[in-house]
Amino acid sequence: MPRSPGRRGEILDAFVRYVAERGYDRTNIGDIADELGMSKGTIVHHFGTKAQMLRELEETHLARQLEALRMAWDRLSAPHERIAAIIHTSVLFQVIERNATVASQREVVQLSDDPAMQQVRKLRDQLQELTIDEIRAGVECGLFRSVNVELAALQLWGSLEWMWVWFNPADSRTPEQVGAAFVDVFLGGLLLDRFELSKWADPAADFVSVVRDCIAAVTNPAE
């Protein structure tokens, strides 16, 4: 998660890292204040509450994923390409924005009933709807077999949202290899004709570069 300028950015960066490492409930403002050499009042001045920091983390992180995918949609048009792009985007964010991704995924239900988290729920729904739309489009054009599209989308996102538990970027498996394995299993279960599945389940497939470009554009806009 690129740092915002000034003390506010330092506070949010520390909060994101603590939530990724400890979880939301075990993250407290006092520890952040001690680490940064400031008073708790300074943090409260900038954010008000710990819940507000979580909301900002979630909104920023989810909005970046959506923006990256919408950019990718301008370059990838087929349903199977887009489903593969969703998978690789999720995996690559595990590396490129590791702390924000882990913090967001481990706290997916935190404050879910809080009215202040309405925008976060909306962004999560939009990510889900992108997947539903592409599975439905694939079924309607005869590319995918007939499935319950809502349940298929839930299966995919459930798998991707749980990845933070077992995927370690320092392991020997690259994010591209992990993404390709997900593509092989998930698209393999959808495609009516699997003849070209190996092309889409290739860690070096062209669309993976498209995904990387789009993520770079939203996470490092000044570069």
Q: Which amino acid is at 105?
A: Q
Check if the beta carbon of residue 63 is closer than 8 Å to that of residue 73: no
Residue 215 has pLDDT above 80, yes or no: yes
The SS3 assignment for 191 reads: strand
pTM of the model: 0.91
Per-residue model confidence as pLDDT tens digits over 68-103: 999 999 999 999 999 999 999 999 999 999 999 999
Q: Domain coordinates of the chain in residue numbers?
A: 51-219
**Rounded Cα gap, residues 81 and 183, in angstroms:** 10
Cα dihedral value 197, 215, 155, 186, nearest 10: 10
Nearest Cα to 26, choosing from 117, 112, 107, 116? 107
Name the architecture of domain 51-219.
Orthogonal Bundle (1.10)
**Rounded Cα gap, residues 208 and 199, in angstroms:** 12
Percent of the chain at pLDDT exceeding 70: 96
Per-residue model confidence as pLDDT tens digits over 91-141: 999 999 999 999 998 887 766 777 878 888 899 999 999 999 999 999 999
**Rounded Cα gap, residues 156 and 60, in angstroms:** 22
